[in-house]
Amino acid sequence: MRAFVLFMCLSVGCLAQRPQPCASPPLLTGSLSVSTQSEKLMAYANYYYDALRRRIRLTEFGSYNNKTFHLDVLLLYREGVMYKMNYKNQTCCKKPLSADFHPLEIPWNASLLGQVVIGSSSGPGQGVLVNTWEGELQMKEGPAKYMSTVTEFGCIPVSTLFHTIRSGWMVTSFFNNVIGLVDPQQLIPPHFCQGAQLEERLDEDPVTFFSLF
Amino acid sequence: MRAFVLFMCLSVGCLAQRPQPCASPPLLTGSLSVSTQSEKLMAYANYYYDALRRRIRLTEFGSYNNKTFHLDVLLLYREGVMYKMNYKNQTCCKKPLSADFHPLEIPWNASLLGQVVIGSSSGPGQGVLVNTWEGELQMKEGPAKYMSTVTEFGCIPVSTLFHTIRSGWMVTSFFNNVIGLVDPQQLIPPHFCQGAQLEERLDEDPVTFFSLF
C-alpha cells in the first residue's frame, strides 16, 4: 500500500513537472491584434471575455483588402444573439449567433512544442515563461493547424497562429491582458439596442477571432 | 538659476517617463527563430552575442526553399573573418567578413509605437512589459521598414519585423535569452580551424540575421 502511495505521489509529481494543457482565466480584458500572411487582414481590437456567462465584446478597427473598417460587436452565446453597434449613430443590429462559444484554452489533445522565456530570466521583470502548444483542428474547409502560446503562470494567452492551406497563416497576438472585467457594463447591450429587432440571417456569420480557438 | 535647475530636473523627469531607445546588454546568449512571409526561410538558431569584442556565434538549422540546412558560423567582426565550421567532419572554412558589426540596439531615431504587456500584469510571473519601436533603414535595394520589440527592463530583444517591398516581412523572435555568455569558448575558433586558409570571397556575403539590426 505504501509503495502504491509513493508511486502515485511520484506520478503526480512527474506530471506536474510537465506543462499541462490549461484554460485561461474565465474573466479577461485586454487587446489583441490579428494579421494574415497575405496582408489582406490587419486588425486591432479591445476585448472583454467572460467565459462564465459566455459573452465577448470586441471593439476593433483595421483593414481588410486595403479598406479600413470599424466593428463594435457584442456576442452573447447563451442567448444566441449578436449585437453590431454604432455608438456614433446610436444604431444597433441584432443578429442570430449560431456559433458555439469556444473558451480560451489549450485543447486537451494539443502537443507541447516547447517552453521558452520571452525576454530574459536574468533579471526581475525582464521576461515571462511561456508554453507553446500545437495541434490540428478539423474545419469545414479541411484540416487546420494551430500553434498557441500561453504563459506558464496564469495560462494567459500570448499568441495563436492558425494555418489553413487556403489562407496561409493568421496570427493573433494578445497583450495588455488583465484578469477580470475592467468595465462589466461593456458586456451589456446599450440602451439603443433595446428596440432592435432580430434580423434574419441572410449573410454568413461574421468571422470572430474567437471562433478559431 | 533655481528656476533653471528646476526646469532641467523636470525635463529630465519627463524624458525619463517616456521609454527611450536603448542598447541590449553587451553579452547575451539565447535562441532565435526566423521566418519569412513567403515561407521560403524558416530557421532556428542558438546564438552567442558579444558586443564588447564584436563576436557572434550562430548554430542554426532550418529550411530554405524547402531544403533543410545546417549552419555553424563564428563571426569575428574585429578581425574581419568568418569561420564556417563542421564539427562532424572537423572541417573549417575561413572567409573574409566585410560587414559592419551592428549592436543589438534600438536606433536613436526610431519612433515609439507603443508600450504593452505581453501576458498579464495581474499576477507575478504572468507577463513582461515591452516597448515596440519602428523606423526605416536605407538599404541597397531601397527603404526597409523595421519594428523592434524589446523589454522595458533590461532592453532584452523580443522580436524584430523587417519589411522590404521585394521580400515582404521577415520576423525574428528571440527567446531564452540570458545576460552573459553561457560558454565563452563558443566564441573562440575551434582547434580544427587553426590551419584554415582565408578563402577569397567569390560568392556573396552570407546573410546573417544580425546584419539586419
State the CATH number of the domain containing residue B45: 2.50.20.30
Burial class of residue B183 (count of CB atoms within 10 Å of its CB; 0-12, 13-18, 19+): exposed
Q: Among A118, A124, A178, select the one facing B120 at the smallest CB separation.
A: A178
pLDDT tens-digit profile of A88-136?
999 999 999 888 898 999 999 999 999 999 999 999 999 999 999 999 9
Res A138 pLDDT > 50: yes
B126 → chain A, closest CA residue: A153
Question: Position of cell 462564465?
Answer: A52
Sequential DSSP letters for A164-182: ETTTEEEEEEEEEEEES-S
CA distance A113 to chain B (A): 14
Within a domain: B82: yes
* Measured distance CA(B10)–CA(A143) in Å, rounded: 58
Q: Look over chain A and give the mean of its residue pLDDT values, rounded to a whole number.
A: 87
CB within 8 Å: B178 and A120: yes
Q: Do A156 and B31 touch (CB under 8 A)?
A: no
Residues of chain B positioned with their CB less than 8 A from the CB of A175: 116-118
In a domain? residue B8? no
Do A55 and A209 form a contact (C-beta atoms < 8 A)?
Answer: no
| Residue B117 domain-assigned (yes or no) | yes
Q: Which domain holds residue B128?
A: 27-212
Does the structure show a pLDDT above 60 at B132? Answer: yes
Strand partners, B50: B27, B55
Q: Is residue B10 part of a domain?
A: no
Cβ-contact B31, B45 below 8 angstroms: yes
Chain B from 53 to 92: CB within 8 A of any A CB: none
B175: in domain: yes
Asked whether the predicted pLDDT for residue A182 surpasses 90, the reply is yes
Q: What pLDDT score was predicted for residue A212?
A: 34
B37 touches chain A (CB under 8 A): yes
Q: What is the pLDDT averaged over residues B21-27?
A: 97
- Asked whether the beta carbons of residue B120 and residue A154 sit closer than 8 angstroms, the reply is yes
Confidence of residue B11 (pLDDT cuts 50, 70, 90): low
Q: What is the pLDDT of residue B208?
A: 46
What span, in angstroms and rounded, lies between the C-alpha atoms of A145 and A140? 13
Closest CA to B163 of B129, B202, B134, B194: B134
A33 touches chain B (CB under 8 A): no
Strand order in the sheet with A111-119: A91-96, A81-86, A67-76, A55-64, A41-50, A27-36, A168-179, A157-164, A142-151, A127-139, A111-119
Helices (H), A84-173: none
Q: Which helix (H) or strand (E) is B69 found in, with range? A: strand B67-76
**ipTM value:** 0.84
Please tell me the predicted confidence (pLDDT) of residue B193: 93
| A16: in domain | no
Considering all CA atoms of chain B, what is the largest pairwise distance in Å, rounded to the nearest integer?
71
What number is the average pLDDT over the span B142-147? 90
- B151-163: average pLDDT: 95
- pLDDT at B206 exceeding the cut of 80: no
List helix spans (H) across chain B. Answer: 2-17
Domains contained in chain A, number = 1
Put simply, the answer to whether B177 touches A30 (Cβ < 8 Å) is no
Residue type, B79: E
Domain presence at residue A15: no
User: What does R_g of chain B's alpha carbons equal in angstroms?
Assistant: 20
Place of cell 490540428: A136
Chain A residue closest to B155 (CA)?
A126
- Say what the pLDDT of residue A46 is: 97
Residue A4 lies in a domain: no
At A193, is the pLDDT very low, low, confident or very high (cuts 50, 70, 90)?
Answer: very high
CA A140 to chain centre: 20
Q: Is the pLDDT of residue A5 over 60?
A: no
